[in-house]
Each structure stands twice: as structure tokens, then as C-alpha cells.
Amino acid sequence: MRELDRIRWRCRRGLLELDLLLSGFLERRFDRLDAAERQAFTELLDQPDNDLLDLVLGRCEPAPRYRAVVEMLRAG
């Protein structure tokens, strides 16, 4: 399985809102991320659904290493 296919599978979440946000981001922006941003995005996918949704919706602030990717997710 290709890396992008694995990441696409990991974007499928239990929360529909998060599923839509992550899948849309993957389709629209992932190919334009540099290596560090790709790594940060895949690390964010390790977060539990509710924690990740809180980050994306701005309910809490991300760690500095994730800030750029979270801002892109927030922007859509």
C-alpha cells in the first residue's frame, strides 16, 4: 500500500466532521506540503479524535511543531 493510501485510511475517523476536514485537506493540500509538514500531519493523525477536533476548531492551541499544519487545517 502506498504511503498516501495509508494516510488516506488514517484520515477516516469516528467523527464525521473530522473525517470531512481531514479528507478534504488531504485532497486539496497534502501534495503541496514539505517533508516536515507531512511528518507533522501524520503525527497529528495519532491524536484521539476529540483532541484532534479541538485543535482544528481552535478550542486549544497546538504544540509549536504542529502550528503551521493546524493553521492550514483551520483555513480549509
Q: Which homologous superfamily is 3-75 in?
A: Flavinator of succinate dehydrogenase (1.10.150.250)
The pLDDT tens digits for 32-66 are: 999 999 999 999 999 999 999 999 999 999 999 99
What is d(CA 65, CA 21) in angstroms, rounded to the nearest whole number?
20
Angle at 69 between CA 9 and CA 52, to 5 degrees: 60
Q: What is the mean pLDDT of residues 17-46?
A: 95
Q: How confident is the model at residue 3 (pLDDT cuts 50, 70, 90)?
A: confident
Dihedral pair phi/psi, residue 27, rounded to 5°:
-70, -35
Average pLDDT of every residue of the chain:
93
